[in-house]
Structure 1
């Protein structure tokens, strides 16, 4: 009887101490939205409008090498560029013997997918949306699994 009471007290003390563990907030990067322009990469699809040039206005995909195949000028580097940088790049190439003063507009038609892996409810490929944070991506993937180590 005495050993049962001692065992009970020991278990009670351990459970009380476990409840005293300190709270560790998630790192800022976990839920922080980066205030930076989106950079293009393989798999993105952009809508390029060349005003008064209907034959050049179309949607184009960034290939696996990071280039956009554009009529008249060929391959245009897109990986790592913003939409505004790509506008300038296309306009500069069109100025080289094709159009006098091209007015080019680039907007993102479809973002490349993101991949959420690890101890989440449903790891896999998901659509990117502007403003997506790590926290939101994990929520979209079904949240952390019970085995997930959320401290590191």
Structure 2
């Protein structure tokens, strides 16, 4: 009887060893508390107080710029909304307005991507407070062969793509790429 228990425990240990370990590189967790930085694909609501013709919805283009009337293309990629407000105010103060006051808010975040063992892989609109699990649900759920306990996330940190293996309760940020791997058993 004890030999049978030993073989069962050995088999269980072998199966559990097949699951890849979670791996989070340095700096990956720190990005969760950092202020949101703008990038290509974000849509912004920019309000210039007292200037209705300048206030509108603007997209951050592929080169990370926002193009406003009068001042033209303004770098926005990698900036927070507060930093962009100050940059636009400085440009408007340069010969256009005396005391410009600008407000910038994210109207629509850039999309995230889900690949791998999900029902419908693709690009999806970001929703606040999203986790890997909710992102997978938006993608139609797991496929029958999916590894359901963890996923790989790739995100831009410091202008470079960084990948990590995380649990499905891990928070997702706009622009992340989530890959659900196939389980072995």
Q: Using structure 2 for the length normalisation, give the TM-score.
A: 0.64
Unaligned runs of 5+ in 1: 1-8
Residue 144 of structure 1 and its aligned partner are, at CA, apart by: 6.1
Name the one with the larger strand percent.
2
Does residue 146 (structure 1) correspond to residue 145 (structure 2)? The answer is yes
- Partner residue, 1:117: 115
CA RMSD of aligned residues (A): 3.1
Closer/same/farther in 2, CA of residues 137 and 96 from structure 1, 3 Å limit: same
- CA distance in 1: counterparts of 2:33 and 2:142, whole angstroms: 24
- Partner residue, 2:76: 78
Partner secondary structure for residue 82 of structure 2: helix
Closer/same/farther in 2, CA of residues 78 and 144 from structure 1, 3 Å limit: farther
Residue 116 of structure 1 and its aligned partner are, at CA, apart by: 1.0
Closer/same/farther in 2, CA of residues 35 and 143 from structure 1, 3 Å limit: farther
Closer/same/farther in 2, CA of residues 15 and 121 from structure 1, 3 Å limit: farther
- Partner residue, 2:55: 57
- Partner residue, 2:124: 126
**Residue 18 of structure 1, aligned match among 6, 11, 16:** 11
Trace 1:95-114 onto structure 2 (pairs within 5 A). 95-114=93-112
- Partner residue, 1:87: 85
Closer/same/farther in 2, CA of residues 135 and 28 from structure 1, 3 Å limit: farther
- Partner residue, 2:39: 41
Closer/same/farther in 2, CA of residues 147 and 108 from structure 1, 3 Å limit: closer
Q: Using structure 1 for the length normalisation, give the TM-score.
A: 0.76
Name the one with the larger helix percent.
1
Kindly report structure 1 stretches of 4+ aligned residues shifted beyond 3 Å: 12-16, 20-29, 133-136, 147-152
Unaligned runs of 5+ in 2: 152-164, 166-185
- Partner residue, 1:4: none
- Partner residue, 2:67: 69
Residue 97 of structure 1 and its aligned partner are, at CA, apart by: 0.4
- CA distance in 2: counterparts of 1:115 and 1:35, whole angstroms: 21
